[in-house]
Structure 1
Amino acid sequence: MAGGNQFDAHNVTSLKRTEHTLPDVRAYRLSRVQEILQKNNCSAILLYDPVNIRYATDTSNMQIWTGRNPSRYVVVFADGRVVGWELHSCEHVWDGLDLDFELRSAVAWTFFSAGTEAERRADIWGAEIVDVMQRRAPGELRLAVDRLDPVGAAYFVKNGVTLLDGQAMMEMARTVKSAGELVLMNESLRACERGIERMRRELRPGITEQDLWANLHHENIKHGGEWIETRLLASGDRTNPWMHECSSRVLQQGELLAFDTDLVGPNGYCSDISRTWTVGDTRPSDEQRHLYEQAYSQIHFNMDLLRPGMSFREFTEKAWKIPEIYLKNRYSCVVHGIGMVDEYPSVAHQVDWDSGGYDGVFEPGMTLCVESYIGAEAGTQGVKLEQQVVLIESGCVPLTSCSFETDWL
């Protein structure tokens, strides 16, 4: 594959962008899509998810808006050819791409775009896609789709197209990163770290959670980043349970402040880092220090455990055991994949395995986030930590230099 995915602990941390990085990454990612299509005996995939379109073609156009409004779409064929249906006056987003592609005008048929004409326009939309498939892959009407409204799916079924689960295919294609992708991910992480550093400088009693969170957005946009998926920053008693988004609450001296960046930065890659501090940079209380020690232990025990070739089930069975007092408020997974956004896999806790677990195997080149939340049921504070890593043959390597509060341990 273009770009390769052989790393060691040294070159993971020293990878730098060259003039070949972006072309190599584009070629690698397209080759991954081709391989998954060929593996599933599928001639083409229809993509609406803006992250999947970015992965396959490296085109990006109003990602949040098009994520809500299915108005641009792409068909990628197993031989690498691409047909893109683009928004009005937006052809420029395809400039400079070394792709075998054809560009057309998108046909939007959601109620917002088409009103009561939605079904008629969907017929026009579907007929054009079927025609493209018949001309480029005659006799092979097997189409993978990542997301599609009921009217569109009904059109394809009525016209003899066999639909396959394209989202599953794209998740698997995106799983293993090339060396070039790590370069681009590192650039996103550096932008995120600048935002974290700015938040740390601005952290003081009297500032609101929202004021503090705005510093992360500032640095992301300043350095060419794109958006932040959540607003997960909480202080004081809002740190327990986890999952409170930032508010107008005023920070108080000595209380805990925790956050989860979920930041889509430069190049469209996600930087997912969680840290917990004290407001005013005060010495933590005994309870705060104990919570932190538990979360730190969970993160690092599980990082030491991770190995390529290990199954998800084996990992979760051997993972750090959460003390009973913190079990109810545990984080939603032990480890999850990360790339342009949160990706496959999401590895369940052992206690959740029967209801929400699924098996698979960790592979070299996977980028992952190792998670912890420690907060007692009915407690008044909690600690959130998360470390982004890449799997290499010997284990995992952290991708961020963002420090932990090791003097609390």
Structure 2
Amino acid sequence: MNFKDVIIIGGGAAGFFAAINIAEKQPHLKVAILERGKEGLQKVRISGGGRCNVTHAEFIPSELVLNYPRGEKELLGPFHKFMTGDTIDWFEKRGVALKIEEDGRMFPISDSSQTIIDCFLTEADKHKVEVCYNESVKKIEPSSQNESGDIEHHFKIETHSDTFFCNKLVVATGSNSKIWKLLEDMGHSISKAVPSLFTFNIKDQRINDIPGVVAQNVDIKVVGTDLFSEGPLLMTHVGMSAPAILKLSAYGAIELAQRNYKFEIEINFVKQTFEACIQCLKESKLNYAKKTVFKSPQFELPKRLWQKLVLASDILQDTRWAELNKQQLDNLSGQLTKAVFNVDGKSTFKEEFVTAGGVDLKEINFKTFESKRYKHLYFAGEVLNIDAVTGGFNFQNAWTGAYIVSQSI
């Protein structure tokens, strides 16, 4: 009989982290990872443009949880047990030093995700974790009794090529719809998966031909909702991206999916009210009377964006500040403080495949990450209905959950 003490389904970040920590703490246990691909850690490999955004330099649990549209309340306790500092310490003890970038993201000093992959493979080998590749799970059966009524093992797992038995089962399969279906068949509730980190597709004269232009700090809201975001905004070949958009896509994942990714956004490029902006423009009218509006950007806006908004306000390229009439001032203030854009569709943000959805959080004991429906069944990572904004937060959720699972086991 192919028996293991602990089986981890999923050879990604959470799966390897759980397996290594279990095997290190309990060297007498037989620990195996079942990975459906011919190699594991694929998301680790492509994260952060191939550099692996390991975590984020936020060291206060109550602040860290604010980056999780789903999971904020549930992760507060776990983050008090295993946090960013613990992640840094874990990797450094194993020879992987991390660095903090200006925006708070943390990467290995090598700037290569291969460093993280090598660390995991070395540690797994060192602690005798058996990694079984090309093992796609097709069935999970809880509990089996022998003739005298004793439970021989708690789980039977069938793959396409083998059958495994174990006493403890950890599911760390990320956004895998087939595994979600198996868990649903076992009685777990699954929140429907929808994309969480994505950019907005927008066709609009005001942003055509200016890809790469960044407005450093804007306010954005989705018209007709309470969804709001702020931060840098990047114009792209197909629309808009950067943190302001990505945060909105994460927090609005479910609602925007319901709208089939067709909605309106209102942008305040200058973070001022319409009235305050008018006053500033009137001052500019006095101060720059002889200059053309087109060639004298205000509010520290990028020149090309300013020029697009000026033209959209029915102001000609050769119009001087002194020549602006009331209607033109109103138009320009409107474009600067409440410009409305039509969003028609989404695009994946780089290779950051993140989804909202997964095992219902009410069915998990977050002191142990154990299922409330089945003893000895544990979860870690994005298989749960937890997701985060971009910046290393999704990995921190994986490390924290996997570590607590290993402590529990």
Give the structure with the higher percent helix.
Answer: 1
TM-score (norm: length of structure 2): 0.24
TM-score (norm: length of structure 1): 0.24
CA radius of gyration, larger in = 2
